[in-house]
A and B are shown apart, each in its own frame.
Chain A
Amino acid sequence: MRNWRRALGYYPLLPLGGATALVWANAAGDSYFRFAQSIAYPVNEIGVTFAIASLAQEVLEAMTPGGTLRSWRAAVLPIVAGVGGTVAAAATYATYIHATDEGILGRGWPIACGVDVFFSVALARALFRGGASVTFVVLVAIVSDVIALAFSSWRPFVDRAEPGAVGLIAIAVAVSIAFRALGVVSIWAYVLVAGTLSWFGCYWSGIHPAIALLPIVPFFRRSPRPLDDLDPLRHGHARYAHFETAFEYPLQGVAFLFGLVNAGVLMRGYGTGTWAILTASLAGRPLGILLTVSIALMIGLRPPRSMRWNDLVVIALLGSLGLTFAVFLSTAVFPDGPLLQETKIGAIATIVGAPIAFALARALRVGRFVQRTGRV
């Protein structure tokens, strides 16, 4: 049972939905795109809201006493590395687009910053079997995603945006504070009342509604958890009181539908956007992470005790996996059409970073292939 629950933490239906979409889109494109476009809105703008909230909840739980990030010292180096990797990925993307004179793709740079947290963590756990390296990967991914989300959530092409509607988000936060003061335990009160207000606030003001629950999440009930363990039961998270437990099964459906709606790309639809995302993810971000860590170490920051340079090289490559989050960012930045196809293919193709990371781990004798050499 515990293994099953832990497996759910990696959203196993997501790749199933994605694979189905890929086959369907290339076998019968018209019917696939008609279907995908008909349900894209509820999946990407409502369903994903809960997935992002779940991720935010896990990060906040890791920051509570007893969680992985209880000490800022443990988090500062990976956060700095995450920022450096993100800046490098964005710069690489922009440089590539500039060099190829397809400026219309320029607004897609946040896509290059997206990291698939769950896939990266799953690989990190498979390679390192837990510990500081896994936490490092999680933090790099989360920092990258927060930056990318912040820059892609404002949608200039939305119909009739009303910036004043952000007031609804403020009301939603006030409602959450009131619930917390009144000792409201049920997660549904927060989600249905404050969450709905926040969602409409985002929607009407032109902010991507997928982040609507982020201002509400800090008021959810939390328990400490280590970031490298996604098993909710292990940390005493009571169902219905804890968001990620109450939404554990619905999120599986969201994950499947997300893959089904977004991963369907025509294989011949690749283009400049594809190569720009791949270059930024596979070269720009890893190099940025390593360069930033080097600078951070020079100015006195300290890595986790057991971490070595070889580990860092593999960790940096694990940060190259954009996959689902980069696909999501693509849908936030580009409407349906060729640019979306190009960037989605690039996002999906970052999966090649996985075998490269594994091969490198083997070559450098890292993690499960360990044969300890010089420390950082």
Chain B
Amino acid sequence: MRRIAVTGLAIVALLRSGSFAQEPSTLPNRPDSLKFAAIGDNGTGDQPQYDVAQQMDRWHHHFAFDMVIMLGDNLYGSQRAADFVQKFERPYKPLLDAGVKFYASLGNHDKTSNDAYKLFNMGGARYYTYARGYVRFFVLDSNILDQPQLTWLEGALRDATESWKIAYFHHPLYSDGGRHGSEVELRVRLEPLFVKYRVNVVYSGHDHIYERVLPQKGIYYFVAGAAGELRFGDLKRSNLTAAGFDQDRSFMLNEIAGDDLFFEAISRTGVTVDRGVIHRDGKR
């Protein structure tokens, strides 16, 4: 039976007390590890999105993540060519110029045709998979989780040989966000597949907060939907909540080294609001 352990939960006490301080990153920053950021619900084109993007760039200087996973709602409002510039290319220009690749999933505010936008690296598909070393990512379209997509997902999970399996999509299967919360209907469809094929970690957005959910059936769930939008004070803590932050915008940094996934959630002002490490015990 696979077990995954999380350490470094002291930050929870900080979260509850509401006091944060800028601390040095505890990410190991190993040269051969996979480093990636996660942002969700970012595409407002407003100043807070630019602030978060600036913070990401600042961290990138000493933690050189080479990819960003996008958890949907990559663009709000109109989505003409100029909007792609204002809501994506301009805020993330330093990262794009540094060669960081963005891999998008579609949210409810995204046009389906955005899967053809080159810098989203979706290859014209609303759901797709890709691998980086011993990590395989499964990017789903949770807006339209139809039978062909489920059939494709099961095949892709079955065929995956990588030791880490990470899924991401817009709507969270578990969330304590007060506005939306857990998408139970999707969960009934997806969770059995994730458990059967031993998915390790799932990232989502939609609720405009940051939340780390306690492991559910051996799987870790993150909600990271505050990289542009924010629903202040919307986290309704429950027995699902491991940690959370709803006081400001945020993004995540992740590093996978061997059997460990290190993560930090960072606020718009650069404060680490959650951190920890997920250990993958199971050997295939």
Contacts and interface: CB of A to CB of B under 8 A. Distances in A.
Contacts of B189: 37, 336-337
B202 to A, nearest CB: 16
A339 B144 contact: yes
B181 A268 contact: yes
A10 interface: no
Given A336-B189, A337-B183, A103 B144 contact: no
Contact of A29 (B78, B79, B148, B184): B184
Specify the main secondary structure of chain A where it touches its partner: helix
Contact of B79 (A101, A105, A272, A341): A101
Contacts of B269: none
A30 B110 contact: no
Nearest to B113: A103
B184 A157 contact: no
A288 to B, nearest CB: 27
Interface in B42-57: none
Interface in B170-227: 171, 179-189
B254 interface: no
A33 interface: yes
Given A104-B110, A338-B108, A33 B185 contact: yes
Given A101-B109, A102-B109, A338-B171, A30 B147 contact: no
B94 to A, nearest CB: 27
A34 B188 contact: yes
B184 A104 contact: no
Contacts of A34: 188
A337 B109 contact: no
A336 B111 contact: no
Contacts, number: 80
Contacts of B109: 101-102
B70 to A, nearest CB: 16
B143 A339 contact: yes
Nearest to B126: A104
Contacts of B74: none
A65 to B, nearest CB: 46
Contacts of B238: none
Nearest to B170: A338
A337 B145 contact: yes
A334 interface: yes
A236 interface: no
B185 A104 contact: no
B142 interface: yes
Contacts of B76: 101
B112 interface: yes
Nearest to A266: B184
Interface in A29-80: 29-30, 33-34, 37
Interface of A: 25, 29-30, 33-34, 37, 101-105, 157-159, 266, 268-269, 271-272, 334-341
13 contacts: A25-B184, A37-B185, A104-B106, A104-B144, A268-B179, A268-B180, A269-B180, A336-B188, A337-B189, A338-B142, A338-B143, A338-B171, A338-B185
Given A33-B187, A104-B143, 15 more contacts: A101-B79, A102-B108, A104-B106, A158-B147, A266-B181, A266-B184, A266-B185, A334-B144, A335-B146, A335-B147, A336-B189, A337-B171, A338-B143, A338-B183, A339-B143
